[in-house]
Homo-oligomer: A and B are copies of this chain.
Amino acid sequence: MTPPPGSSPGTDQSVADPGLEDGPGDPGMDASDEPDHDRVPTTDARSDAPPVATRDRSGLGGFLDGDQAATRARARNFLVEHDVTARFGLDTTTHRAQVWDWLQALADDGVFAVGLPAEYGGESDLVGATATFEELAHGDLSLLIKAGVQFGLFGGAILHLGTEEHHERWLADIISGDLPGGFAMTERGHGSDVADLGTTATFDPDTDEFVVHTPDPDVDFKEWIGNAADDGRMAAVFAQLVVDGERHGVHCLAVPLRDDDGTVLDGITITDCGHKMGLNGVDNGRIWFDHVRVPRTNLLDRFGHVDADGGYDSPIDNPNRRFFTMLGTLVQGRVSIAGAAVGASKSALTIAVRHALRRTQFSRPDGRGVRLMDYPTHRRELLPRLARTYALHTAQQRLAHELADVFADDDVERRRPLEAHAAGMKAMTTAHATDTIQAARQACGGLGYLSENRLGQLKADTDVFTTFEGDNTVLLLQVAKALLSGFADDFGSLDLRGMVGFLTSRVIDTIVERTSVRTAWERVRDLVDRDQSGPETGLRNRDWQLAMLAWREEHVLGSLARRMERATDDDADEFAVYLACQDHMLAAARAHVERRVMEAFATAVDEAEGDLGAVLNTVCDLHALATIEADRGWFQEHQRLSAERSKAITRTIDDLCAELAPVAGDLVDAFRIPDAVLAAPIAT
Contact = CB atoms under 8 A, between A and B. Distances in A.
Interface residues of A, number: 86
A362 B495 contact: yes
Contacts of A218: 4, 7
A107 to B, nearest CB: 27
A452 B274 contact: yes
Contact of A275 (B224, B380, B450): B450
Contacts of A575: 364-365
Interface in A445-485: 445-446, 448-452, 455-457, 459-460, 463-464, 466-468, 471-473
B637 A446 contact: no
Interface string A624-665: 000001001100111100010011000000100000000000
Given A274-B452, A275-B88, A196 B2 contact: yes
Contact of A451 (B4, B275, B636): B275
A637 B636 contact: yes
Contacts of A471: 445
Contacts of A224: 446
A12 interface: no
Contacts of A582: 375-377
Given A277-B459, A583-B380, A636-B643, A364 B189 contact: no
Interface string A424-458: 00000000001000100110011011111001110
A189 B646 CA distance: 40
B189 A1 contact: yes
A513 B213 CA distance: 77
A405 interface: no
B3 A189 contact: yes
B189 A2 contact: yes
A643 B639 contact: yes
Interface in A348-381: 361-365, 374-378, 380
B190 A2 contact: yes
A464 to B, nearest CB: 5
A343 interface: no
Contacts of A276: 449-451, 456
A580 interface: yes
Contacts of A1: 189, 196, 198, 216, 219
Contacts of A249: none
Contact of A219 (B4, B193, B274, B496): B4
Given A192-B361, A460-B460, A451 B274 contact: yes
A150 interface: no
A561 B378 CA distance: 22
Which residue among A216, A438, A446, A583 has the maximum number of chain B CB atoms within 10 Å of its CB?
A446
Total copies of the chain: 2
A456 B277 CA distance: 5
A403 to B, nearest CB: 25
A187 to B, nearest CB: 9
A31 interface: no
Contacts of A189: 1-4
A538 interface: no
A223 interface: yes
B377 A219 contact: no
B446 A468 contact: yes
Given A2-B196, A91-B91, A445 B467 contact: yes
A132 to B, nearest CB: 25
Contacts of A638: 643
Contact of A636 (B198, B460, B467, B636): B636
Interface string A272-290: 0111111010000000000
Interface string A236-250: 000000000000000
Those 7 A-B pairs whose CB atoms lie nearest each other, nearest first? A277-B456, A633-B633, A275-B451, A89-B275, A632-B633, A7-B218, A636-B636
13 contacts: A2-B219, A4-B189, A4-B219, A7-B219, A88-B275, A191-B361, A274-B452, A362-B494, A375-B579, A376-B580, A380-B583, A442-B466, A445-B471
Given A364-B575, A376-B580, A441-B463, 17 more contacts: A1-B219, A2-B193, A4-B219, A5-B188, A91-B91, A196-B363, A223-B446, A224-B446, A277-B457, A362-B494, A365-B575, A442-B472, A445-B471, A456-B460, A629-B633, A633-B636, A636-B637
Interface of A: 1-5, 7, 88-89, 91-92, 186, 188-193, 196, 198, 216, 218-219, 223-224, 273-278, 280, 361-365, 374-378, 380, 434, 438, 441-442, 445-446, 448-452, 455-457, 459-460, 463-464, 466-468, 471-473, 494-496, 575, 579-580, 582-583, 586, 629, 632-633, 636-639, 643, 646-647, 654
